[in-house]
Amino acid sequence: MRTCDDRGVTEYRRAFRPADRRLVAGVSAGLADHLGVPVVAVRVAFVVASWFNGAGAIAYLLLWRFMPLAAPELSPGLESATRRGLRTSSRLPIREIVQALCLAAVGLGVFVALQASGRGIAGPVLAPIVIGLVGVAVIWRQFDDASLGRWMRQTSGLAFAARVAVGILLVAVAAVYVITQDRGWGAIADMGVAVVAALIGAALILGPWLFKLVGDLDEERRERVRSQERADVAAHLHDSVLQTLALLQKNPGDAAQVATLARRQERELRSWLYGTDNTIGDRFAAAVRATAVEVEDDHRIPVEAVVVGDTSMDPDVTALVRAAREAMVNAAKHSGADRIDVYAETDGRSAEVFVRDRGAGFDPERIADDRMGVKGSIIGRVERHGGTARIRSTPGEGTEVALTVPIRQAEQVTEERVGHD
């Protein structure tokens, strides 16, 4: 149910600061996600870099400014459940907080030792820088929070004013300190430094706010488009619920029909409310799910599909899905079972599908050559694409069809695309 403009617009990956997993600003967590490394490694890197004239702290502040904050995007059902307090969103594990605090303590210790040995930043400059940085961090954190409604509630009114005031005060103290340090420079230089410091202070306080304003406008526009899309889908969905209810009233006696209708409606609602599994798209997982849905609708039997991993479709994978469909149809038609389990898995090297029922079963030795369904469209189809098909069945216990095809590398596929299914 996601629209196609979700894909395509941003092909490159962007780093975000996750709003729900941050200790200070979320820079480390965001970088760890982006680079695929443990978050603790990123934190260590920042701390170590800070020993060298505070490079780590500066990098952190810069990234803080330029990495956008991202609240997790949830499905409509989860978003609503969160708003109504029906679920607890994940908290940061205590262990991670303690770990970060220890790391900060060690970092500070080494930093102080460096200072003491005289190899750090010159003493008179250090104090105003530290105070200034803390002030900036306090204000920025405030701006971050203000952009998120739920955080805003906690930090409005007095707390808000107090934090901004503290930030301004700290920056001002830093500025005054810097200016009074340089008495020897003469009045004109003093004035100049004071003006520059004041300008920097103002930029620090107002800059993020202006920056934020532009970002918020953008965000607001996207949010509006999204909520309109959702409203459309909701309208369509409610319409289909009405249809289903009308059909149920018409056929109250047909148990199978009622069950099928109820199940289909449940599936639609569920996937809208909680789903990330859409059945649209040119991917293996989506294709397996869509096939299961089709068989379920056509043959009025529940088909439970579980898919692990995903890959793009190529002729081999397409053949696999078609063969699996054939197996599902066979199970639906002949097994007499009350449900079919489908499990599909891919690790990028091969793709497998298992179709299982607990129905009548049959003797696999006795698949007559004329049973084209099994021989041709399941076994033959998969084997033509370099895969294997295994059918296990015991009369009275049920049947399981296991299908595997290897996944070829992209260039091989294009070469052999002339091949067919």
Partner 1 sequence: MTELRVAIVDDHAMFRTGVRAEIADAVDVVGEAEDVDGAVKLVEELAPDVVLLDVHMPGGGGIEVIRRAHPRHADTKFLALSVSDAAEDVIGVIRAGARGYVTKNISGVELVDAITRVAAGDAVFSPRLAGFVLDAFAGTIEVAQVDEDLDRLTEREREVMRLIARGYAYKEVAKELFISIKTVETHVSSVLRKLQLSSRHELTRWANDRRLI
21 is a contact residue toward partner 1 (CB under 8 A)? yes
The tokens of 272 are what?
A: 């809208």
Q: In the range 259-278, which residues lie near partner 1 by CB under 8 A?
A: 266, 270, 273-276
Q: Which stretch binds partner 1 (CB under 8 A): 69-77, 229-237, 249-257, 289-297?
A: 69-77
Please say which residue, 136 or 287, places its beta carbon nearer to partner 1: 287
Residue 18 interacting with partner 1 (CB under 8 A): yes
Beta-strand pair 388-394/350-357 = unpaired
Q: Is 295 one of the binding residues for partner 1 (CB under 8 A)?
A: no
Alpha-carbon span 154 to 59, nearest angstrom: 29
Provide, rounded to whole angstroms, the least separation between the CB of residue 161 and partner 1. Answer: 30
Q: Which of 195, 225, 308, 372 binds partner 1 (CB under 8 A)?
A: 308
Using CB under 8 A, pick the residue from 49, 74, 104, 367 that binds partner 1.
74
Q: Does 86 bind partner 1 (CB under 8 A)?
A: yes
Size of the site for partner 1 (CB under 8 A): 39
Residue 341 binds to partner 1 (criterion: CB under 8 A) = yes
Among 25, 33, 43, 133, binds partner 1 (CB under 8 A): 33
Nearer to partner 1, 305 or 329 (CB): 305
Does residue 304 bind partner 1 (CB under 8 A)? yes
Question: Maximum distance among all alpha carbons in the chain?
Answer: 105
Interacting positions 354-393 with partner 1 (CB under 8 A): 354, 356
336 touches partner 1 (CB under 8 A): no
Residue 70 corresponds to which tokens in the numbers above?
């991202």
User: Which of 27, 32, 100, 327: binder of partner 1 (CB under 8 A)?
Assistant: 32
Residue 149 burial (CB count, 10 A): 10
As measured in angstroms, the least distance from the Cβ of 166 to partner 1 is 32
CB atoms within 10 A of CB 278: 15
81 binds partner 1 (CB under 8 A): yes
Q: Which of 124, 149, 309, 396 binds partner 1 (CB under 8 A)?
A: 309
Can you give the binding site for partner 1, defined by CB under 8 A? 18, 21, 32-33, 38-39, 72-75, 77-78, 81, 84-88, 90, 93, 95, 266, 270, 273-276, 304, 306-309, 341, 343, 345, 347, 354, 356, 400
